[in-house]
Every structure is written in structure tokens, then in C-alpha cells.
Structure 1
């Protein structure tokens, strides 16, 4: 007999099948009764029990034998990992994060409220039937505040059903792996976002200072530039990893941890240089890079604002604060919402400004997001 097609099953039917629940749950069957003396057919008899109970009746009732055979045919099939994978992929809309969480929650409820309850009952019966010593576990009674003992059903289940739920836990592990991988990718995106912010700030802040001694000035610039290069290499690696969907969890964790440590180190290093003797804050001559629109535009060009808005779901006020200047707020707000009002601060309405930002990025080898480039009109 062919396997039941998984795609035709509801989630509960799927869970009952792959967990082995159908093999141990109770069934009720109506059996036609016949008077052996008169041959008259009487009222159908209702028989309730599990598959093994029906087998032990040891009768020659054709109806019962047929029912047992049908149940065994349905339950004795094995399913490959790819069949289970394809069912879950379709059910969760290609492993959508939210839908995976919903299915995992349903599995948790089914496991504790249905599967374990049935397994516990059968395990207890098997222990009594075989004369095995029942393992006990101590627990604190909420009402009496005293310690009582109860059967250790987990130990009993493992002994009576060592392989019953194999496919169920395989499906559960698969979904958890998908969820973990998705969460890791979100963490990587956060690291990339932090790295871009640090890179931009380091590149800009060093211009705010003049160092009296030329040796210190060169030493500082060389040190900072080498670290910016290193950081940008990490950004590139992380970005490529996200696009290709990193296949190995260990690689994700390693890159994530390394990047986090690097960012912390760079912050300490930058703070050290700014406090080091020989630095002296000088009044700056105003230039285009001091303009609010330019700085906001730079954050758009490098993908920082779109990424923070999408990933962290920050308000415009929170975005401006997070980027280090609350005066950015109107520029961010109007640029995101594409507004067109008097005294416009929507940077995307001014192609000359977009070109200024673009040329600055090209000159300083700053990566530019394609979405930003597409908004520029080149002659």
C-alpha cells in the first residue's frame, strides 16, 4: 500500500501520523453481532481500545481483522526527510519566520496535551503488565507545600517508546534550525549596520582634529585608516554571507562574534586617539560635509537609514537620535515619506545634492546602495 500523501493532511493529521500517535491512541469500532443460535443480526457492539488491545482479543471477526489491517497499513509507513521537509516548506510558506513560530507552538501544544498524555497512559499500563519497577520523581505539592512522589513518565516513555517519535522530533528540529538561521541572519545584519555606522563616524571624526606633531598625525591616520579598511572588509564579507544565505551555523556565529569584538575594539581605539595628547579640537571651516542634508544623504546612500528602519523598526525621532543628531529628523522624515513642501528637506528632490553625495562616496571608496543610485539622474 502506498504512503499517505502528506500534502493532503492538515497539520494535526500530519503530527498524529509522524509522531506515532495513531499507533497508540484509542479507537472505537462498531462490530455487527449475530445470534449464533438463531442467526439473527443484533445491535452493533462498540469496541474501544488500542491496536494491540484489538489484536489480543484473538477473535476471528472479519470486521475487526480488517480494521486492524487498515490501521497498520496507515501507520507502518516511513517518510523520508525530504518528504517531511517539503510538507513543512509548503505549510509555512517557504519557512516564513512567523509561520514557523506558529507551527512550532502548535507542535508544543500537541506534544504536551495529546502525545505525552497518551504515551504516559500506555507506559504505565506496560510497566504494570510486565511487572517493572516504576521510577518515581519527587515534586513539591503546591497545596500542601510538601514534597510528594509521582511516576517519572519521561523515563517510562523512553523505555516503552524508544523510537516512536523519531519523525516528529526530526520535523521539530528542522523548523528550529530554520528559525535559528533566520535569527542569526538578523544578528549579522545588525552587526553590518553597526559596522557601517562606526566606519562612517571614524572616517568623519578624524577630520575634526589636527595633531600638533606630524609624527602623531601620520601615526593616527595610518592606524585609523587600517582599521577602517579592516572593518569594511568585514562589512563586505557579512553582506556576501547574507546574500548567499550562510550554510553553516558555526560560520555565522564566528563572523558575528568577531565583528562584535571588532566594533567594540574600534570604539575603544577611536576614543583613545581622541583623548590622546597631541589632539586639539580646531574650529572647522564650514564645508558641504557639515551640512545636515549631506550627512543624512550619506546615511541613505550607504543603506544605514533603510536598514535601521526595516530591521529595528525605529521611529523617525529614534532614527535621528540613533544617528547622533536630532536635527536629522525633518530630513529623514521628508526623504522617507517623499514629501514636497515649502522649505523642502527631502534630499531626493535635489539631483545636484544626490550627485554630491554620490561623488563623495566614489572618491572615498564608500559602498553605495543600488536603490540610492537608481534615484540619481546622470547626464
Structure 2
């Protein structure tokens, strides 16, 4: 399928790319990963080959959220937003961007977010889980705290998407949970385990009730949440938790119908996607790859183009949902909505199709 839109696709500032890549890769792998994170212009040939029309770019994790000094975190956000805006301006039909913001000060976050959206043209904001804070970096700031209501109000007013992305744990959490099992701290398990708590905290704190226009997305087939919806709603007993702030007549499943979306980034399982569609509907799911932490664009694209879905679902997940949610039909991107299946050549990429849910072991650059 041509015309795919992918929206969990990372970049890094060239001055940081190779050094920060060492957090996720071997010494040799970090060189390659760093180059891939810094190289934006060089992605277009691979996008063409994989049938990807647009990448929505975001500052790689942990970005500003990993900087515990408020002034430094804010400087990084401004530098990143200015840098990526130039890249998007140079090629707006192939790239869009999510803003980066420091979340130390909600008022400052609102100002930078507004600048990034109104002046620089960002189509949303990427938050890499909690904000590191404190002199040792072990303090975690979460956005279900009422002090962030001003931020959520601005998001609603700007009418943009918030994308929540995982990050590595603080040193304290690492020592408590992962020191003796470090292979679990990142993408294998820890990312989803930690971020899902933050997502559910936002939902159960009533953010979506106070700001019903807020739209929240997260990747990796929903960070485990779609597959546990029944148990979540069954166990969030209002008699047992009378101080829980979410509306008494709402369930987590309800918020997936009005406020929450997932992407397929880094999770190329046919059965998982089919299950997610059954739980959420295709209207709440968007195709993404998680480049460059997944090896290239072809693997995920070939998988998606061969998933046994109805053509309307393939079109919605691969293109239309993201185009509508991020308003990519507007200037300067001007993507065309509602293209026919024939125009997009659905059924295009052909290649190896993974056996459904067979153990599929590969070497990832993103690891423990």
C-alpha cells in the first residue's frame, strides 16, 4: 500500500545522536543508530521503497524528559523544535513533526508548545513519559497531577494530539526492579510496563472528563492496555476507590472511543492487531514503525501490507486515521484524504509474511 503515514519515528540532534544511542545499542550499533537518528534527508529513498508517504518526526526518548535541570531541558526543547521545523519546511509533503517540551513548569510548557504549533507548524507534541527532576534526577513528574491542568487545557485549545512514548527508568527504579534483570528494562517489557501506569493515571485522574477534547496516542500496540481492558474496567471498583477522579459513569474502554488511540510501532503481530481491532475498532489504530529502532521501513511495511484485513480497515489504519487526526490535509503538508484503494495500490508490497504469533526473534538495535 502506497501513501502510508507513520508517526512514531525518531530523530536526534546531530550533536547528541551517537552518544545518546549508546543507551540502546552496543558500541558498534550505537554508531549506526546515531547516524540513522541524525539523518533525516536520507530517509526519503527508503520511504519510497516502503510505500511511506509521510513520517511524523519526534525527538528521540528521553529527550527533554530525561533532563532534570529545568533550564537545560527547556533549551533542548527550543533547539529541537527549531531544528526539526527547518527540516519539515524543506520537505513538507514527506515530513511533519511533533513538538518537544520540558514538563518541569506547566506554564513554560504551554508557551513553548504554543510557539511550536502556531509559529513552527508542529502537528502535535511528543512526551517521553515522566519528567526527570530533582538534584539526582530520581524525582518523577507525572502529568496526571492537577498542576498540569493548564497544559491539558492548552492542548485542547490548540486541538493537537499528545503522543506518550516510553523512556528508560530512573537510576533508583532501575536498581530496585531491573539491576538483576536488565534485559527487561527497555523495549522487551519495562517500557510498556511503566508507560501504561502513566496513561492509566491520566485517564483515572479525570483529565479526559475535564478536557474532553484532548486526544492521546501511544504506540507498541497500546502498551499492553487494549488486551486488559475487561479486567481494568472490572477491577476499577468505584465503591472501593471512591476518591478516583474519573467520571463515575465512565470506563477505560469509553475513553478509547473518545480520547485515546494506539499505533502499531515496533509490534508487528497480526494476531495482536486483529485483537486490538476487535477491542477498539480500526478507527482508533494507526500504523507506525518506530524507526530507526526497528531495522528499516520494509519489515513493518511488508508485514502491514500483507495483514489479512478488509481494505477499508487497511486504508484507515495505514493512512486515513492519522491524516485526519493530525490534520495533514492542511498547508503546508497538503496530503490528499479519501484516496481510493486503487490510487493507493493496496496490496502493493510483497515479501515474507510472518506466521501468526510464531516466535519471531530478531536482533534489535533498541535493547536493554
Superposition TM-score tier, normalisation by shorter sequence? under 0.3
Quick check: which one's helix share is greater? 1
What TM-score does the superposition give when structure 1 sets the normalisation length?
Answer: 0.21
What TM-score does the superposition give when structure 2 sets the normalisation length?
Answer: 0.21
Quick check: which one's strand share is greater? 2
Q: Which has the larger radius of gyration?
A: 1
Q: Which has the higher contact order (CA 8 A, sep 6+)?
A: 2
